[in-house]
Amino acid sequence: MLIVTSMKLFILAALFGFSLAQHNPNFKHGRTSIVQLFEWRWVDIAAECERFLGPKGFGGIQISPPAEHIVLTSPWHPWWQRYQPIGYKLCSRSGSEDELKDMITRCNNVGVNIYADAVINHMCGASGGAGTHSACGSWFNASKKDFPSVPYSSWDFNDKKCKTGSGEIEDYGDIFQVRDCRLVSLLDLAVEKDYVRSKLAEYMNKLIDMGVAGFRVDACKHMWPGDLENIYHRLHNLSTAWFPSGSRPLVYQEVIDLGGEAISANEYVRLGRVTEFKYGAKLGTVFRKWDGEKLFYTRNWGEGWGFMSDGHAVVFIDNHDNQRGHGAGGASIITFWDSKLHKMAVGYMLAHPYGVARVMSSYRWNRHIENGKDKNDWMGPPSYGNGTTKPVPVNPDQTCGDGWVCEHRWRQITNMVIFRNVVNGQPHSNWWDNQSNQVAFGRGDRGFIVFNNDDWDLDVTLNTGMPGGTYCDVISGQKEGGRCTGKQIQVGDDGHAHFRISNTEEDPFVAIHAESKL
């Protein structure tokens, strides 16, 4: 049986060009979750790995794009300047190449992987001007498509291939426009050219050799799968300083597909994992109780809801785009602005076995809603007057200050990251629901979680499937020094426990796991 299974895997790997390996996040020490530290400086990430992420069992960090980017002052240093590269030097708003290398080393040393956000579809906007207004001071001329620090010239862009009069994507139903024309005026690279592919692979390989574990690849819908496959095949194996010999970089590709799109996420799953945008959009609708949705409908959550297969998905409640109303999901997306629902939705994601989970860690901005749109969604991270990013200060209560939200440090979310580690590999089991918005489920005999998203109290005895004993609820508190700082849950020898959750509680859910037992 083992020989047959191994042969099947070998044939599959051969068919898919060994790309199956690029679905593996290469987590260390039984870790299971990624956190997106959006716009953090490298020095702050290094410190966070050592003081918090490593000890708390986080598996990896998605960092903001590390390549040299344009510097914009109208609007003032917006977050999206990071997504407009002018070259591949490793200096950015987050810091220098030396600081980046130090951060990668220090995070790897405490078991936390680094996944770089790779912007390889395009360079900066066509109206980006000329000069040295870039993160490292490298000269470029956007109007002439001249980027000497790479170098790229007008030969390396898709303008002649694009068939629209404006050179922009005008019809998202036309796959040729989507992949060969400019996305919101960003200069579209000719990724089919061997020279361009070689420069992109060279940039990504430099990061791999420094110790990154993989990449979130931006705007993959706007590139042909065959071109991406060629680039991914050029990538080095991971550094043997921290990873087993022969390990391939994780690739997870941004493909926005809510269904009914001309380009499907399924076109990319053979190359690596893909961001499952339907996940946060649907779960947000469920927790908001919109469109008649109820939490008990999630009994078959995952592939049963029309999502891509489990082994291909990276899942998330929100990301840097859709928490601002961009990307996908619209108003259903639940963010830190709605903290009660956000903790519940993230808790559900981390308790459920589907996909590789990514938690968002944000910063606040001055929201200004007009006609349903946020006029200030462009605002960059907390900054000094000259536009440089502020450090992330940690308060005595372990939250962050100075505008940094740090959802990953919220007790409820941190403890659910630990829960996911403890129950890893265990089946979804012991489902219960009240035919409405109260549900519970277990993960084998290692964990159990109960949600009350109804407008009335939950009061019920359930089969947890767990060994008898006293457990600390890791939502209202945790186990510390042989006692519970929050609720205690008594599980009988028959695996049953009584749960009482008021709908008025700050966090109307309860979670216990094998390591929270007294």
Q: Are 235 and 272 in contact (CB under 8 A)?
A: no
Active site residue ranges: 218, 254
- Burial of residue 206, with CB atoms counted within 10 A of its CB: 0-12 exposed, 13-18 middle, 19 or more buried: middle
Element housing 313 (H / E): strand 313-315
Task: Give which of 472, 490, 282, 447 is closest to 351, Cα–Cα.
Answer: 447
Please name the residue ranges forming H helices in 264-408: 277-288, 339-351
Using DSSP's 3-state secondary structure scheme, residue 303 falls into: helix
- Element housing 449 (H / E): strand 447-452
| In the block, residue with structure tokens 């191994």 | 6
Residue 217's closest CA among 319, 136, 116, 286?
116
Integer Cα distance of 384 and 365 in angstroms? 14
Nearest-Å Rg of the Cα atoms of the chain is 23
Q: What is the DSSP string of 274-291?
A: EE-HHHHHHHHHHHHT-T
Q: Are 162 and 182 in contact (CB under 8 A)?
A: yes
Tokens standing for 274? 């893909």
Q: Which ranges of 49-193 does DSSP label H, i.e. alpha helix?
A: 97-109, 175-180
Q: Look-up: residue for tokens 């030969």? A: 155
Residue type, 182: R
**Tokens found for residue 221:** 């819908």
Q: Do 119 and 219 contact (CB within 8 A), yes or no?
A: yes
- What amino acid is encoded at 28 in this protein? K
- Distances from the Cα of 53 to the Cαs of 56, 111, 155, 397, 517, in angstroms? 5, 9, 44, 16, 23
The number of beta carbons lying within 10 Å of the beta carbon of residue 384 is 8
Phi, psi of 231, deg, nearest 5: -65, -45
Report how far residue 120's alpha carbon sits from residue 225's, in angstroms, rounded to the nearest whole number.
Answer: 13
C-alpha–C-alpha distance, residues 473 and 512, integer Å = 5
